Amino acid sequence: MQLEFTCNGRPVRMQADGSMRALDLLRDLLGLTGTKEGCGRGECGACTILVDGSPVNACLLYAAKLQGRAVLTVEGLAKGEVLHPLQEAFLEEGAVQCGYCTPGLLLSSKALLDRVPHPTDPEIEQALSGNLCRCTGYAKILKAVQRAADRAGRGDGTSRRGREAGR
Amino acid sequence: MEYLIAGSVEEALRLMGGLDEQGRSARYVAGGTDLAVQLAGNAAGGQPEALVDVSGIPELLRLERAPGGALSIGAAVRLETLARSADLPACLSQGARAIGSPQIRALGTLGGNLCNASPCGDTLAPVIALGGRLVLASVEGRREVPAEEFFTGPKATVLRPGELLVEVDFGPAALAGRSAFRMIGQREGQAISQVNVAVWLLAEGGRMAEVRAAAGSVAPTPVRLAAAEKLLRGQAWSQGLGREAGQAAAEEVRPIDDVRAPAAYRRLLTAALLREALAEACEGVQ
């Protein structure tokens, strides 16, 4: 079928089998291999992409469902050489070990911060509950998301922790 | 596998009918979060030759409240929408919230969870407790089936070949009453229910004038907890009453031992979850 959607801000027009997985379309047809396949059955979140801002498992998504949508993959996070604040924060906090889960975690985190700019730890845990990390655990990942949220909130000159301490 | 997209209920039925006439096997797909997993594995019955996507049909995306308080939820309304809505019956939102992960809830739909008919599906008990009626469409017309008669076994329903779930309707009492849902799984997130329980009740003068309770993962289909309901009806809430009702529920369910939990544990859970759900639903009743 003829598919038209935007991917990382760029319009895409292509012929594809509508019943193929969006994961395979992105990786094999568009060459966007940042999206990883883990379990292939919607349990690990390694293949998380954003479709119209919502995190979904690309391994469960039929390619036809991309029609008319806005897709964001991990390749679309950085602006040129400038990393996204979440990517910076993951680096600074060491929230990466093998890195296989990282693209999915970044996108789930982005979806959260777009909706809830200053989340609590339980809100982060909830938002990342569909993303498994098997290397290192989640403490640094939580810290990284909080750090990115703090940085985004610096417009008022204080960090989240600073504001809370002042309450 | 051919992928067809239906723009209306009529088109979906027509596409399905046409495929059937050609002798081609086909399945409806909404979010696809259960179906894609089944088809990726060695699905019983093999791969269908076509999928008919119903997730964009406007009629299936409606979420409407009639002036009298009746509620109508389209089959393709996503679980995420139900989970985030503050103005739906509590047990339905809580049930939707218990399913899968944010990624699954963003794709999965109410109709998909119901039609998949897994005994542990977390919207099934809520829809039964709320007295939901399922509207099914076929080329012959439409029929309404009470939620508790929809399920006939694990992954089996009264849906006829080519028939499509359009919406779930609830009477005004569903919203007028109080409700609560409880489940237990092996983890807090992304866990399949070992048992789930939903209760709905209408309080009058401090008593439960009407009450419906249902449980999942304790029998081949989600079941009404009729013995527990009988004990509760007309009574005022107390912890003692909750224990009695829980005991009755534990005795009336028919769970099995499986990979997720032994039957005896499921009976204990049924009692505890019913008691907790009742306590929540009765909170503040005077």
How far off is chain B from A21, nearest CA to CA, in Å?
Answer: 9
| pLDDT the model gives residue B190 | 86
CB of B103 within 8 Å of a chain A CB? The answer is yes
Residues A95, A153, single domain; the answer is yes
Asked if residue A13 belongs to a domain, the reply is yes
Residues A43, A90, single domain; the answer is no
Strand order across the beta sheet in which A10-15 lies: A10-15, A2-7, A70-72, A48-51, A54-57
Residues A25, A42, single domain; the answer is yes
| Of B246, B188, B249, the residue nearest B223 (C-alpha) | B249
Length of chain B equals 286
Are B246 and B223 within 8 A, CB to CB? no
Are B36 and A60 within 8 A, CB to CB? yes
Residues A37, A17, single domain; the answer is yes
Partners of B101 on chain A (C-beta within 8 Å) are 42-43, 45, 129-131
Total number of domains constituting chain A: 2
| pLDDT the model gives residue B44 | 63
Complex ipTM value = 0.93
For helices B263-282 and B239-252, the axis angle rounded to 10 degrees is 140
Alpha carbons A103 and A85: distance in angstroms, whole number: 14
| pLDDT the model gives residue B42 | 67
Ranges of chain A whose pLDDT falls below 70: 154-167
Contact (CB<8Å) B33/A21? no
Domains of chain B, earliest start first: 174-282 (3.30.390.50)
How far off is chain A from B273, nearest CA to CA, in Å?
Answer: 22
Asked if residue A165 belongs to a domain, the reply is no
Asked if residue A164 belongs to a domain, the reply is no
Alpha carbons B78 and B140: distance in angstroms, whole number: 27
State which of A57, A76, A95 marks the end of a domain: A76
| pLDDT the model gives residue B94 | 98
Asked if residue A125 belongs to a domain, the reply is yes
Average pLDDT over residues B261-276: 97
| pLDDT the model gives residue A38 | 97
Asked if residue A167 belongs to a domain, the reply is no
Partners of B102 on chain A (C-beta within 8 Å) are 55, 108, 111, 126-127, 129-130
Are B109 and B55 within 8 A, CB to CB? yes
Residues A116, A66, single domain; the answer is no
Residues A52, A109, single domain; the answer is no
Identify which of B1, B33, B106 has the shortest CB distance to residue A19.
B1
Identify which of B1, B101, B188 has the shortest CB distance to residue A45.
B101
* Range(s) of the domain holding residue A136: 85-158
Q: Which residues contact B237 (CB under 8 A, 6 or more apart)?
A: B208, B278, B279, B282, B285
How far off is chain B from A138, nearest CA to CA, in Å?
Answer: 14
Residues A66, A125, single domain; the answer is no
Identify which of A19, A51, A125 has the shortest CB distance to residue B3.
A19
Partners of A56 on chain B (C-beta within 8 Å) are 103, 106-107
Contact (CB<8Å) B53/A62? yes
CATH number at A16 reads 3.10.20.30
> Is a pLDDT exceeding 90 seen at residue B286?
no
Neighbours of B132 (CB within 10 A): 27
Contact (CB<8Å) A65/B102? no
| pLDDT the model gives residue B284 | 87
pLDDT tens, position by position, B101-120: 999 999 999 999 999 999 99
Residues A70, A119, single domain; the answer is no
> Is a pLDDT exceeding 90 seen at residue B188?
no
Residues A11, A33, single domain; the answer is yes
**CA dist B44 to A40, A123, B32, B53, B140, Å?**
19, 39, 17, 20, 28
pLDDT tens, position by position, A145-160: 999 999 887 544 344 4
Residues A55, A100, single domain; the answer is no
Alpha carbons A84 and B34: distance in angstroms, whole number: 33
What 3-state DSSP class applies to B201? strand
Contact (CB<8Å) B189/A125? yes
Strand order across the beta sheet in which B178-184 lies: B178-184, B195-204, B207-216, B223-224
Residues A72, A92, single domain; the answer is no
Structure-model confidence comparison of residues B187 and B276, the more confident one: B276
Partners of B55 on chain A (C-beta within 8 Å) are 65
| pLDDT the model gives residue B43 | 63
pLDDT tens, position by position, B49-105: 999 999 999 999 999 999 899 999 999 999 999 999 999 999 999 999 999 999 999
- Mean pLDDT of all residues belonging to chain B: 96
